[in-house]
Chains A and B, each alone.
Chain A
Amino acid sequence: MNRLNLSLLSALALAFPLSLLAGRVWIDPFHPVLPNAALILAELRLPRACLAVIIGAGLGVAGAVMQGFLRNPLADPGLFGIAPSAALGAVLSLWLGALGHPLGGWALPTFALVGAGGAMALLGLIAGRGGSVALFTLAGMMIASLSGALMSLAISLAPSPFALSEIVTWLMGALVDRGWDDVLIAAPLTALGLAALWMTRPALDALALGELAARSLGVNPRVLTGWIIAGVGLTVGASVAAAGIIGFVGLMVPHFVRPFTDRLPSSLLLPSALAGALLLLVADAVCRLVPLASGELRLGIALSLIGAPFFCALLLRLRRELA
């Protein structure tokens, strides 16, 4: 397992500088004849790469923790409803801006974080006391469906087709044109979220034996729920605030790394962080490379295109195991 982390870390260390060179305008470090190359690197590509690593790590760990907590390999950070609520906050800020109340550059991330915080508080209120997994899941789904409905309402009430297009485009998730301001938002929040999620490791392992056995081993369900809400809320909220809704990472990345670990939920966290960072970094570079007439490829599409073949291979192997 340590070998796994080492190889992922090396891959990441290799991919990071390479990704900085990649784009529709290839930058050769030894022959920097391109005008504005330094500017492109410093103000566009470097913050993007940092964001990809930060968000990828956050979402990867959030996914691993969710799957460990719900004891379900199909769990995804979106199940908690935090991503849709954060998106709802952001959509509201875009909507208000389109109505003629421009709120300034910090409005969108702030609204998104308020949305995430609201979902976290609601989750804590509904499911925090008992900590039962079923209640948690249902509460999360309710929040997700409510936020989704309100978002659709905001979209249908969009003041103009331009506002509509702006909202829908933002929702699709992208790292394009992000800068150091976005890194400034995402980095500390994700770090706090990762710290919270790190605290859940022993409890997640105990949960493998069931809730009752876990409690007999000293797990406090309320404390665990608190850490998870805080951790997932912060990591997912930060990612939505910076880049819109990015799916796939939280669900898939733990599956990619699990066969190489001892399968204990706690062993998945670090590899998921590294693999998530690597996946998002590569996907973002692909987005820059694909030659579309209308700009860049959407991040969600690149993620699915890259991830699907791996997932297919995984499923084939799973099928053989189960057969």
Chain B
Amino acid sequence: MRRRAALLMALALGSCSPAPAPVPVPVPAPVPPAPQRIVSLNPCTDAILAEVAERGQIAALSAYSSQVGQSSMNVALARSLPATAGTLEEVAVLRPDLVLAGAMTAPAERAAYARLGLRREEFASPTTIAASLEQVRRIAALAGHPERGAALVARIEAAVVRATVPPGTRRVDTLVWQSGGMVPGGNTLVSELMNRTGFDNFSARAGLGQAQILPLEPVLAHPPQAILIAGNLAAGENRLLAHPALGRLPATRRFAFDPVLEWCGGPTIIRAADRLAQIRQAL
């Protein structure tokens, strides 16, 4: 018995050696290196990319982002980076390993990208906040910086929460009027933002889909309490707004709404939410 205990003790002592024997560990799959030359072809992906990628990774942004009325990001920053008009030849010369583009592409262009062997990721215009956040995460992951994507998502969510009205708050019937009489319907990002910030999207109630011309009759029959004008009044884009019939709706208040706020998701949501909250406060 004592001998067995001594044997066990010896074994136990022997197994407590300070340097354990090396055991083969399965090697994890090598992480593909993050793309070092990313080209973004539309202002919405430009804005997201500028936030989640390192400056050195960006090979070019779309030419729109350098223009004040068209840009969804910091114009000065955009101007400090190379710009491209987006033709395939220009993109090919940049030797990108990743191209971010919108979903509105001609079939011939898609085929040409495939022929040239360029990697292209498409991002349709997001119709919900959740979809937009998903795009942010996706772009961040593609750029190799998921942590930055998460940070941007957090900032966007915080802005939305800030602007969200408490449940039970009175909802203001509102119409968003874009240039030429187009209005965003119920399945749009701006519509969801409006719902969160205490507005009722008039055009959704009127049964309009994604983006349609609004006939005047429903507006006159049940006038909205507010109209957000997203267009350049001076440029004559809103002829219908000057329609005499609309002048007879004294109860309807009008507010300016920068059209740029409507075009993209991503970081723009922060500014859009703030503006909507601001307008809601005034009502």
Contacts and interface: CB of A to CB of B under 8 A. Distances in A.
Contacts of A177: 88, 106, 108-109, 111-112
Interface string B104-144: 10111101100110000000000000000000000000000
A182 B67 CA distance: 36
- The size bracket of the interface on B is 20 to 34
Contacts of B234: none
Contacts of B63: 293
Contacts of A39: 92, 116
B112 A160 contact: no
A177 B115 CA distance: 10
B89 interface: yes
Interface string A251-289: 000000000000000000000000000000000000010
Contacts of B181: none
Contacts of A36: 92-93, 95, 116
B214 interface: no
5 contacts: A165-B104, A176-B108, A177-B109, A288-B89, A294-B85
A205 interface: no
A100 interface: no
Interface in A185-229: none
B210 interface: yes
A295 B86 contact: yes
Contacts of A97: 107
A296 B87 CA distance: 7
B217 interface: no
A181 interface: yes
B104 A166 contact: yes
B23 interface: no
B211 interface: yes
Contacts of B94: 35
B111 A179 contact: yes
A291 interface: yes
A181 B111 contact: yes
B177 interface: no
Given A161-B211, A177-B112, A293-B67, A25 B89 contact: yes
Nearest to B92: A36
A141 interface: no
A23 interface: yes
A36 B59 CA distance: 15
B210 A161 contact: yes
Given A34-B93, A39-B116, A44 B103 contact: no
B91 to A, nearest CB: 9
Nearest to B67: A293
A134 interface: no
A40 B89 contact: yes
Nearest to B210: A160
Contacts of B90: 24-25
Interface string A144-165: 0000000000000000111001
B263 to A, nearest CB: 13
A178 interface: yes
A162 B103 contact: yes
A44 B104 contact: no
Nearest to B103: A162
Interface of B: 63-64, 67, 85-90, 92-95, 103-104, 106-109, 111-112, 115-116, 210-211
Contacts of B107: 94, 97, 105, 108
A292 interface: yes
- The interface size bin for chain A is 35 or more
A147 B255 CA distance: 44
B19 to A, nearest CB: 52
Given A108-B107, A169-B106, A295 B85 contact: yes
A169 B109 CA distance: 12
A291 B88 CA distance: 14
Contacts of B106: 166, 169-170, 176-177
A181 B67 CA distance: 37
A94 B94 CA distance: 31
Contacts of B89: 23-25, 40, 44-45, 288
Residue among A24, A36, A37, A178 with most chain B CB within 10 A: A36
Given A44-B88, A105-B111, 18 more contacts: A24-B90, A25-B93, A35-B95, A36-B93, A37-B93, A40-B92, A105-B107, A161-B211, A162-B104, A169-B106, A176-B106, A176-B108, A177-B111, A179-B108, A179-B115, A291-B85, A292-B85, A293-B85
A43 interface: yes
Nearest to A104: B107
B185 to A, nearest CB: 11
B46 to A, nearest CB: 13
B64 A293 contact: yes
A288 B63 CA distance: 16
A37 B90 CA distance: 10
B115 A43 contact: yes
Contacts of B104: 162, 165-166
Nearest to A105: B111
Contacts of B112: 43-44, 177-179
Contacts of B109: 176-177
Q: Which 6 A-B pairs have the closest CB atoms?
A: A177-B112, A177-B108, A293-B63, A36-B92, A177-B109, A35-B95
A161 B127 CA distance: 14
